[in-house]
Amino acid sequence: MNDFAQQVIDWQQQQGRHDLPWQQAITPYKVLVSELMLQQTQVSTVIPYFQRWLARFPDVETLAQAEQDEVMALWQGLGYYARARNLHKAAKAIAELGAFPSDLVSLQQIPGIGRYTAGAILSFAYDAYGPIVDGNVRRLFCRYFALEGHAGQSQLEKRLWQLAEQLTPAQNNRRFAQGLLDLGATLCTARKPDCERCPLQADCQAYRLQQVEHFPRPKPKKVKPSKEGHFLWVQQQDQLLLEQRPDSGIWSSLLALPQVDPADPVLQQAESVGSFRHQFSHYQLEATIWQPQQQVEELAGQGWYHRRQLTEVALPAPIRKWIEQQLKQSGVD
DNA sequence: CACCCGTGGAC
DNA sequence: TGTCCAAGGGT
C-alpha cells in the first residue's frame, strides 16, 4: 500500500468520523440512500432525513413499492428533487434485478449514480476498490499536489480521477475513502483549514508554499439572473388549491401554489396578497402571490387540499413557508 | 462545456 | 444581507 493511503487510513481510524448513521450496520441500501442524500448537501442537514427515510423505507423492496407522493413528501425540504425520483427508480431497478449491483459499470447504469457515487458505493458498501472524487477530494488533492485549475475544468478533473485511481488502495478502501471525506470535512476545509492537525502536512505542496487557501482556484463567478414567478392563492372553505408540478424543471414532482404566466388574464382581475424573494443556486426568484377576484376552476393536475393535509404533502420550502405564514396571519386555526 | 437543479449552514 | 459552498448527476 502507498504511504499516502496508509496515512489517510491510520488517521481515519484514530481521528475520523465513526458515528454517522449510515455507518452503523452498513448495507448497500443504506449507502445508496445516504450517498444520494449527501449529493451537494451537508451531513448535518441529511441526518434527520436519513433517519426518517430508513424508518419508513427500511429496504429496497419497501421503497420500490412506495407511491411517488410519499417518496416526495419524505424528501421535501432537502432540495434537488430529481434525486428522490432517481432513488425511487433505483430501488425499482434493483428490486427488478434481484440483487444489488456491485461493479462500477452496473452501478453507473442506475439513475442518480454517477462516477463518484458508484465509487462511494463500492468503497462504503463493499469495502472494495472504488476511487472517489468529490468536493472534499478535489480540495485535498489540489492542495496536496498544488494542482492548478478550478472545479469543472476537464484537464483538472481528469488529473484528479487519475490520482484517485492511483492512490486508492486495493485493501481497506472503505476506511481510505472515509478518511478522504473526513479530512476534507474536518481539517482540509474550504475556509480556515486546520493544517496543524493534518496527517498529510509534511508532504502537502500548498502548505509548503504557504498558499493552502489559494487551492483550488475559485470558479469564475457569473451574474445570477432574476426571474419572476406568479402564484395563485385560492381558498375554498378550509381548502387550498394546489397543483402538481411537472417532473422536470424547478421543484419538479412537488405540489405548489398554481403558477401562472405573467401575461395570464387571471392576473388582470386579481389582488396581490403577498410576495417573497428566494435564492436558488442559479437564479433569484421574485415571487408574487395573487388572489383572483373571480371564481377559479381547478385545471388538470390541480386539486383541493385541506390545511391539515399540508404537513404530509411535498411542498417547496419557500412556498410552504409563505403558506404557513399566510394561514397564521389570516387567523385560521 | 455550460447549464439546470434547492436548501440551509457558516461566516 | 451577501456570498460561498456542501459525500454530484443529468442533459
| Together in a domain, A120 and A30 | yes
Number of domains comprising chain A: 3
Domain at A235, CATH number: 3.90.79.10
pLDDT of res. A331? 67
Q: Determine whether A228 is an active site residue.
A: no
| Together in a domain, A66 and A94 | yes
A42-62 residue pLDDT tens: 999 999 999 999 999 999 999
Within a domain: residue A99? yes
| Together in a domain, A215 and A230 | no
| Together in a domain, A42 and A163 | no
Within a domain: residue A319? yes
Chain B: bases < 7 Å from a protein Cβ:
1-11
| Together in a domain, A56 and A106 | yes
Domain boundary among A82, A115, A130: A130
pLDDT < 70 positions in chain A: 331-333
Q: Which residue is nearest to nucleotide B6 (CA to C1')?
A: A79
Rounded to the nearest 10 degrees, what angle do helices A173-186 and A135-144 cross at?
A: 80
Domain boundary among A101, A130, A159: A130
Closest nucleotide to A156, Cα to C1'? B1
| A95 in Cβ contact with A61 (< 8 Å) | yes
Neighbouring CB atoms inside 10 A of A178's CB total 22
| A64 in Cβ contact with A81 (< 8 Å) | no
| Together in a domain, A29 and A73 | yes
| Together in a domain, A11 and A84 | yes
pLDDT of res. A71? 98
Which residues neighbour A128 within 8 Å (Cβ) at sequence distance 6 or greater?
Answer: A102, A122, A173
- Please give the full DSSP string across A228-259, using - where no structure is assigned: EEEEE--EETTEEEEEEPPSSSTTTT-EESPE
* A188 SS3 class: coil
Domain at A92, CATH number: 1.10.340.30
Domain of A38?
1-130
Residue A327: exposure state from Cβ atoms within 10 A (0-12, 13-18, ≥19): middle
Beta strands A255-256; A239-244: pairing state: antiparallel
| Together in a domain, A154 and A201 | yes
pLDDT of res. A255? 98
Chain C: bases < 7 Å from a protein Cβ:
3-10
| Together in a domain, A28 and A138 | no
pLDDT of res. A300? 87
Within a domain: residue A268? yes
| Together in a domain, A216 and A283 | no
Alpha helices (runs of H) in A203-307, residue ranges in sequence order:
205-208
Within a domain: residue A177? no
